[in-house]
Chain A
Amino acid sequence: DIQLTQSPSFLSASVGDRVTITCRASQGISSYLAWYQQKPGKAPKLLIYAASTLQSGVPSRFSGSGSGTEFTLTISSLQPEDFATYYCQQVNIFPRTFGQGTKVEIK
């Protein structure tokens, strides 16, 4: 199975900060990576797919980049509604593994 390692696991930031989360894959997955946002008690929400394509309706302050084994999710200016847990997922092969998550909290 492909292992995904996110860093950091926990991040404390302020409104307006630029935030970057990294996802590393144990083997190359081309650009077959998605990012999700999950708030407590809610279902995950798709933010980005194909490593860098913004899902419809997602604010442009979210962006993704990378290919192969290293990927990043960037929030250009953190907003109050962005405090949540973020997961990467590889969709290259089954099983479609997730990273362990990065919790973004208010500083």
Chain B
Amino acid sequence: EVQLVESGGGLVQPGGSLRLSCAASGFTFSSYSMTWVRQAPGKGLEWVSVISSNGYDTFYSDSVKGRFTISRDNSKNTLYLQMNSLRAEDTAVYFCAKKMESGTFPDDFWGQGTLVTVSS
């Protein structure tokens, strides 16, 4: 059974940093691209970032480019999101998700999310 478990969320002050983790199990982690998606309280889904299966290729939304870094450790079956220079508008539940297949396919499994609150 595919499982994705996010951790690392919490309360952080504006300008601060946080690193999210996503522990994967139930599939060959190193074979799949992985995604981060966020959802501000009461709002819709916002795509944040993706990383290729080998970690060489990454893409970011304009709203986080230059501040967030996605990475992965295939030996630990873990995905990361390093978030720096955090702003109030980064407050959201952050979901990690597994890409269905390589190419133009969506994410087929999602974790339950971890809440990040940016506030003084």
Interface set of A (CB-CB < 8 Å, partner B): 1, 32, 34, 36, 38, 42-46, 49-50, 55, 87, 89, 91-92, 94-101
Interface size class of B (residues with CB under 8 A): 20 to 34
Which residue of A is nearest B108, CB measured? A46
B99 to chain A, nearest CB (A): 9
Cβ-closest 9 pairs across A and B? A34-B106, A43-B110, A94-B59, A98-B45, A101-B44, A96-B47, A95-B61, A32-B104, A46-B108
Which residue of A is nearest B60, CB measured? A95
- The verdict on B73 contacting chain A, using a C-beta distance below 8 Å, is no
Cα distance A93–B111 in the bound complex, in angstroms: 23
B106 x A91 contact (CB < 8 A): yes
B100 to chain A, nearest CB (A): 7
B45 x A101 contact (CB < 8 A): yes
What are 11 A-to-B residue pairs whose CB atoms are below 8 Å? Answer: A1-B62, A32-B104, A36-B106, A43-B111, A44-B95, A49-B105, A89-B45, A89-B106, A97-B47, A99-B44, A101-B44
- The verdict on B74 contacting chain A, using a C-beta distance below 8 Å, is no
Cα distance A5–B111 in the bound complex, in angstroms: 26
A43 x B108 contact (CB < 8 A): no
Cα distance A49–B107 in the bound complex, in angstroms: 9
Contacts A34-B106, A92-B104 supplied; 8 other A-B pairs, CB < 8 Å: A44-B95, A49-B105, A50-B105, A91-B104, A94-B59, A95-B61, A95-B62, A99-B44
Cα distance A99–B47 in the bound complex, in angstroms: 11
- The verdict on B79 contacting chain A, using a C-beta distance below 8 Å, is no
Cα distance A42–B93 in the bound complex, in angstroms: 11
Which residue of A is nearest B46, CB measured? A98
Chain B residues whose CB sits within 8 angstroms of the CB of A34 once the complex forms:
106
Given contacts A1-B62, A34-B106, A55-B108, contact A43 B45 (CB under 8 A): no
Cα distance A49–B104 in the bound complex, in angstroms: 10
Contact with A along B104-120 (1 / 0, CB 8 A): 11111011110000000
